[in-house]
Structure 1
Amino acid sequence: MANDSGADVLVSFKDVQKTYDGEHLVVKNLNLDIRRGEFVTMLGPSGSGKTTGLMMLAGFENPTHGQILLEGRPLHNLPPYKRNIGMVFQNYALFPHMTVEENLAFPLQVRRLGADETRRKVAAALDMVKLGHLAKRYPAQMSGGQQQRIALARALVFEPKLVLMDEPLGALDKQLREHMQLEIKHLHRDLGLTVVFVTHDQSEALTMSDRVAVFNEGVIQQIDSPGNLYEHPRNSFVANFIGENNRLHGTVGTVDGELCTVRLDDGTQLRAKAVNVGGAGSATTLSIRPERVVLGTATNSAALENHLSGRILEFIYLGDHVRLRVSVAGHDDFMVKVPIADLDPAWREGDRVDVGWKALDIRALDPIAAA
């Protein structure tokens, strides 16, 4: 959990819980501080509590226990429209009977801004998303990408302290989605926005965020920078949810400082980084990324403490690299990522191949059931 102190903290969740039926907690003891100007993503599978957390911050849900602070002030008695928070939804939520400029003017009129200032702010917001030429159109006359830009402009037009985004790109196709990811990221940087973003798409979270809070079963499993989440997962859930991951199941032998020995189910002995393990004899699940595995003659390096024999089962061509599915230590779904330049042209499906990796590149974590 993150609990940053100081004047730069804009939002604080303090021991927040939420239940709908009085028995099952959808959010459990959420403690999270979000700094001014930060882009924080709440990431997790459906039902993990991430959207409920966002809805409580927006004011559409109330915490069952605990409190949420904005600039040090509790929000529990403040209705959504008085929180000065911008919202962007997946379904755009634009008024279909209003033109683009009328949609953008609406939150300013609610705040009783004068007509001249409203026109100026609407023009500036449309210019920001490069859609000034569509001011007189209705939402139905625009593409999905254009509607999402207008929804974003409407969330920013009244210059809120905080912008909340709930799966805002989920309805867009892949190419437009990736373009909008960069556009939102640039707006965040250029305008100094504080953004809380909800998604179940881990690649989207890694691309856009300063920090990512990974939710599961109402609890933040880890909150960290995208790089640390990927390279240094603290438990098996995070290792498997973030990026591609190979899992091997075994039993801890010895623990010596940051390293441990692990005996796999087929008897293979490995050395691994001891991250989240019990003592000797306890079960563990090992995690290693496909790009950290080396094949063939490269395994002769003295830097590789772990050496196994494998058999190539499948080649999956992906342009700049090839994924090889390899049978290793009784696992037929072990994936290895090989750059095109490093691929041995002599390799064929069915070939035996040496497999190796560094001890510090494989992490011994809490046990999960074998698939």
Structure 2
Amino acid sequence: MSESPVNDVLVRFRNVQKSYDGESLIVKDLNLDIRKGEFLTLLGPSGSGKTTSLMMLAGFETPTSGEILLGDRSLNRVPAHRRNIGMVFQNYALFPHMTVAENLAFPLKVRKLDKTDIAERVKRALSMVQLDAFAHRYPGQMSGGQQQRVALARALVFEPQLVLMDEPLGALDKQLREHMQIEIKHLHEKLGVTVVYVTHDQSEALTMSDRVAVFHQGEIQQIDTPQALYETPRNAFVANFIGENNRLSGRLEKREGPECVVRLDNGESVRAMAVHDAAPGQPVSLSVRPERISLNATTPVNRFSGRVREFIYLGDHVRIRLEACGNAAFIVKQPIASLDPELGVGDVVTLGWNIEHARALDPVAV
């Protein structure tokens, strides 16, 4: 993992481990630098360690070993309420007996700000989330999306240097969720605050983040920009977890610089980028994204034939399931505009892809 310049880093996890039973580690030897002003998402399946890592940073969990630093100060013995960190949860955690304005004023009163300052900051925070007219409403009188905005404003009202968000949009419907993703992203750009965001929703992570850390079994598998994670996954877990992926099994036949030749289980050969450090004869898995595959391909290498088994219509594009390369569920994504209207189930087509769009990765345990 690349080191950041010291003055650019706000949070450091140093060899952090967490175990609840003294035997199995939920978080294993976590080393992570979080940069000032960045939007970092911790992404992974349930039980991967992402939420536990966030809760240790918030102060609601204690590391079994290792150290967490905020700036140059160790947080290990600092209680949660003294960390000056904003938190937004999935369940909003608003006080139902307080108005919106009173909810926003609460963290400021705890910090003993004077009344004029509190009123000014509450007004500014309401305006920031476009809820100026809702100051005197109670949470129960508002929609889920409005309550989430109040929770967001409350996390930002005392101007923390760091805001942690744990699945904050999980309870919202798809359309509102997508709208709030963009709202939060714009707020982050405007305020320049550092955000650490936890989700298991990969499209949310790709949409919102400057960088994404992909967790699996308590360890970061890869931390990168959304584009780098999607286009250049370092291992089979990341390739399969982020976006849709055609996975083919085979053995490395030979390496040629950064490229290699892989012999598939059905005997066909594929040229790919040699990402996994395998020796000739060893098993590898190939990753090819469905949108990188051409039908009626004219590529000079990696040309195969496939039989169409199913069309799945998705509005702007079609997912076509084929039998190809020894795989009965090989997926090709085609924009509607470029789909051949004559193509039908049972037809045999040529398909192909460029060498740089196939990655030879570690073998996947079955």
**Same fold at TM > 0.5:** yes
Structure-2 separation of matches of 1:269 and 1:103 = 63
Residue 49 of structure 2 is matched in structure 1 by 49
Residue 123 of structure 2 is matched in structure 1 by 123
Q: CA deviation at 1:329?
A: 2.0
2:357 maps to amino acid: D
What SS does the aligned partner of 2:6 have? coil
What SS does the aligned partner of 2:308 have? strand
Percent of residue pairs identical: 66
Deviations 1:283-340 (A, max 9, x none): 00100000111111xx1243xx111110000111112211110100221111001112
Structure-1 separation of matches of 2:263 and 2:245 = 19
Q: CA deviation at 1:277?
A: 3.5
Q: Is the 8 A contact 2:299 2:352 kept in 1?
A: no
Structure-2 separation of matches of 1:136 and 1:169 = 24
Q: Is the 8 A contact 2:252 2:284 kept in 1?
A: yes
What SS does the aligned partner of 2:197 have? strand
Residue 172 of structure 2 is matched in structure 1 by 172
Q: Is the 8 A contact 1:2 1:31 kept in 2?
A: no
Structure-1 separation of matches of 2:130 and 2:298 = 55
Q: Is the 8 A contact 1:277 1:364 kept in 2?
A: no
Residue 356 of structure 1 is matched in structure 2 by 352
1:89 maps to amino acid: F
Structure-1 separation of matches of 2:2 and 2:211 = 10
Q: CA deviation at 1:3?
A: 2.6
Residue 318 of structure 2 is matched in structure 1 by 322
Are 2:323 and 1:300 equivalent residues in the alignment?
Answer: no
2:298 maps to amino acid: N
Residue 257 of structure 1 is matched in structure 2 by 257
2:361 maps to amino acid: L
What SS does the aligned partner of 2:81 have? helix
Structure-1 separation of matches of 2:39 and 2:326 = 42
Q: CA deviation at 1:137?
A: 1.1
Q: Is the 8 A contact 1:42 1:199 kept in 2?
A: yes
Structure-1 separation of matches of 2:76 and 2:146 = 35
Are 2:334 and 1:338 equivalent residues in the alignment?
Answer: yes
Equivalent residues in 2 for 1:85-124 (5 A)? 85-124=85-124
Are 2:188 and 1:188 equivalent residues in the alignment?
Answer: yes
Residue 135 of structure 2 is matched in structure 1 by 135
What SS does the aligned partner of 1:254 have? strand
Structure 1, unpaired ranges of 5+: none
1:351 maps to amino acid: D
Equivalent residues in 2 for 1:275-314 (5 A)? 275-296=275-296, 299-302=297-300, 305-314=301-310
Structure-2 separation of matches of 1:48 and 1:152 = 26
Q: Is the 8 A contact 2:299 2:354 kept in 1?
A: no
Q: TM-score when scaled to structure 2?
A: 0.99
Q: Is the 8 A contact 1:250 1:265 kept in 2?
A: yes
Deviations 1:195-215 (A, max 9, x none): 000000000000000000000
Deviations 1:91-150 (A, max 9, x none): 000011111111111100110111111111111101111112111111111100000000
Structure-2 separation of matches of 1:107 and 1:191 = 19
Residue 274 of structure 1 is matched in structure 2 by 274
Structure-1 separation of matches of 2:221 and 2:325 = 29
Deviations 1:38-83 (A, max 9, x none): 0000000000000000000000001111100001110011111111
Structure-1 separation of matches of 2:164 and 2:229 = 22
Query: After the TM superposition, which segments of 4 or more aligned residues of structure 1 sit over 2 Å from their partners?
Result: none
Structure-1 separation of matches of 2:208 and 2:30 = 23
Q: TM-score when scaled to structure 1?
A: 0.97
What SS does the aligned partner of 1:118 have? helix
Deviations 1:220-251 (A, max 9, x none): 00000000000000000000000000000001
Structure-2 separation of matches of 1:67 and 1:100 = 37
Are 2:196 and 1:200 equivalent residues in the alignment?
Answer: no
1:300 maps to amino acid: T
Q: How many residues align?
A: 366
Q: Is the 8 A contact 1:314 1:324 kept in 2?
A: yes
